[in-house]
Structure 1
């Protein structure tokens, strides 16, 4: 049984590495806020290195003040200062594993990816929990603590929020599938 991946599997890993790098330039996660006074919705869009739509974030921060929620800002999310480098490193490792065509290294890389992905989802949940449960008790409007979902809908006062993954996240998902295919495709070699 060969420990080398096939040349087509190597190509899949090189494409996966490209998707990792490309995903950095697309949003990964977002939250849209709807209320009677904002029927078009307000957005928080998260890239691996920034929050998009500063105007909407500013309005959301102004509204969140009334329920005692701390402000959303890039400074409050230190992950945005280094996440792009982690993804770039993962892309480089994927490229190296593809070039070396080593199955054991690929299994290790997939394990690293799964652990990193789980930590990423945990980090999003941790921030949402922190923002929704550490409310200022002196805020003008008293709402019970809450945890917005990572994906899905939530209602607080007259606001309905929709949380969702977006383009960059899906690119990462496709890259992961491209990493798994070689293990299945080359299993008998």
Structure 2
């Protein structure tokens, strides 16, 4: 591996990735929409890196009938520290842009890939936990279920649609900004 530094254009692309990571903190990353005959306008859970928004109280009231534990920011501890993890990743991204060494960029890309895989796993883990650990004494008995991370599902008379949203797309663009230097500086 050459000790030659990456170009200024590559450093700028990496810096843009850092800015995008910070910006992603202000947007939702994932959500779920619930539609039923009694809720044709739909109910939403919207997940930001540090908070939940949407119709959480109504959804918890309905989930109570099937024995699901309440969904809250306290029940998902990752929301308390995820902004710090993202902030540290952004800081490391800026350091890589400043140092401009390809070996550091490879480490940063690996951190992105591992972080993304862990994030997807974590969402799945929570969906499994909420959908399969149902109270046996619930008034309405349904089979345990696991909603998809992305896509449509039916739970009782509700159709759910899980989706990634703005913050996730911003992180995806940040990742592409990290790949740009590898493409730009490839050997001809």
Distance in 1 between the 2:165 and 2:72 partners?
A: 20
Distance in 2 between the 1:33 and 1:5 partners?
A: 48
The alpha-carbon deviation at position 4 of structure 1 amounts to 1.4
Q: Aligned runs of 1:109-148 on 2, under 5 Å? A: 109-148=108-147
Paired position in structure 2 for 1:100? 99
The alpha-carbon deviation at position 12 of structure 1 amounts to 0.4
Distance in 1 between the 2:140 and 2:4 partners?
A: 62
Which stretch of the first structure deviates more once superposed, 102-111 or 178-187?
178-187
TM-score between the two structures when normalised by the length of structure 1: 0.97
Distance in 2 between the 1:22 and 1:3 partners?
A: 31
Q: Aligned runs of 1:4-83 on 2, under 5 Å? A: 4-53=5-54, 56-83=55-82
Distance in 2 between the 1:151 and 1:3 partners?
A: 42
Distance in 2 between the 1:28 and 1:10 partners?
A: 26
Question: Could you say what secondary structure the match of 2:41 adopts?
Answer: strand
The alpha-carbon deviation at position 3 of structure 1 amounts to 3.4
TM-score between the two structures when normalised by the length of structure 2: 0.97
Distance in 1 between the 2:44 and 2:162 partners?
A: 10
- Count of residues in correspondence between the two structures: 187
Do the aligned residues in 2 keep the contact of 1:31 with 1:164 (CA within 8 Å)?
yes
Paired position in structure 1 for 2:83? 84
Distance in 1 between the 2:155 and 2:93 partners?
A: 42
1:184 aligns with 2:172: no
Runs of 4+ in 1 over 6 A off after TM superposition: none
Distance in 2 between the 1:7 and 1:156 partners?
A: 52
The alpha-carbon deviation at position 188 of structure 1 amounts to 2.2
Distance in 1 between the 2:4 and 2:46 partners?
A: 42
Distance in 1 between the 2:160 and 2:124 partners?
A: 15
Distance in 2 between the 1:172 and 1:155 partners?
A: 29
The alpha-carbon deviation at position 2 of structure 1 amounts to 5.0
Distance in 2 between the 1:187 and 1:101 partners?
A: 15
The alpha-carbon deviation at position 184 of structure 1 amounts to 1.6
* 1:34-76 superposed Cα distances (whole Å, 9 cap, x missing partner): 00000000000000000013xx100000000111111100000
Question: Could you say what secondary structure the match of 1:74 adopts?
Answer: coil
Do the aligned residues in 1 keep the contact of 2:3 with 2:101 (CA within 8 Å)?
no
